[in-house]
Structure 1
């Protein structure tokens, strides 16, 4: 096993993914989102949607987080969740919002996978359905005994940037954010692809596939999904995209299989995601035991819907 060659190959693949897939798509999507935000259109959408989300235990800022995670990236709602925490959103509403965020897919995986054959519209719709289901479970079932006391400022939306900002400033701002997100993904991509290469070189993946073969056959799951599922759980969505895109290009995974598995494998309920979101506030750590079961229910619903459709 040539370790240096594995690291070099992982580096090349990671830079290709970041520069030629992640970056162009994230630039365009962030420009659109930023433009809608500075023109106040996003606030109008949030205010219109917020009353519809009340039965699910969600607020106007929860709607903002919903839009951010599905249309930008898993990191986009972090600031919104932090503001919600500081403004004193009730424990029960916060649990519902966290469950929703954990159960939904993230834009930084949806969009780059679209050129590889992912059905974008269906994935987004099912993601929202799964997120709302998770929020409802957290609000009405797992977190029903949590406090509903909140600060009067909790319903306020994040302040939009000055709408006097010109289109060029919007493009520059969104472009710099996209570059930061794309380049920020490179270290995790290199690390995850290197670990994957080392595991493959050592024969660990083949051994795991053989051990799981009876179970996978019984569940009608292709053996090639052992690797991306493992990477997803340990290294997160961006690393999963790097692995699954390579498998698609190599012909080891079909477009139909990617779409069928998207409900289960494209979500933020993985080790990095849990660590990042719980790191925002100590209150989130306390609420996690109410959030986790609800998030799992939402992910399972998304999984079933994707399997039925694809």
Structure 2
């Protein structure tokens, strides 16, 4: 098996500050990054390298923790430690701040768009998850506040095709939400990690959810038939342990190849491959590729390109972004 993870480019994206997160636009033509310098940077490909196209620096007063593109690619949402979420509208090669969403008591840790583009989710250190509805006039209204976690909520992610939302927290749990009678409620609480859960990713079909944690493990959860009257049911079908030396901060399921990539506090980037001959109810993953010193400091985020199989980016506490090419020998 000749699986490789080759470095294509590495560049300083946020000098003298952490680069917290990177996100591809839906077409894969632009990459947004955000950092401790309170800016969002938009990167575009020029030949074989990535160049900064624009810097958004007037939206936030503190660290920008996460960014997310709308499914249509015309809007970018940014979540900040200043307790606000900004919505930016793309205008040709520039962006303008359309609106600022307020209401969380303190740091907003993540923002994510539903696949329809009509809903937005935010989560915060205030232990809450907010669901926002977007109308045709680009007006945003908070339609639900869910308080299912007992600690800081780190991440929110939507199911790839359904209006189903998952969140993870400092309380070691994962919660899954669905709308019921015009209100959003927690339908399942996934317990199993023994420390903070930092990141979540659905597989391309949405039938499984992967979580990564401060306990140095990755868990794969599968939706299963619930008992009558008990609502949604998810069970842990696989735990990847012994691969990571420190906290696993982020995880991403490749939409094109099915590979699973992780970003780790031990400075490493890893790619795991699933054994396709294994029982779907007892999946098996093997470490396919590993770059031990992908960055010189903690790796905060990992993101697969939506259109080019094997193209992967990571970002780090040292402000760098690295672009990788993963190739599977199978």
TM-score normalised by the chain length of structure 2: 0.22
The structure with the largest helix share of the pair is: 1
Give 1 or 2 for the bigger CA radius of gyration.
Answer: 1
Q: Which of the two has greater strand per residue?
A: 2
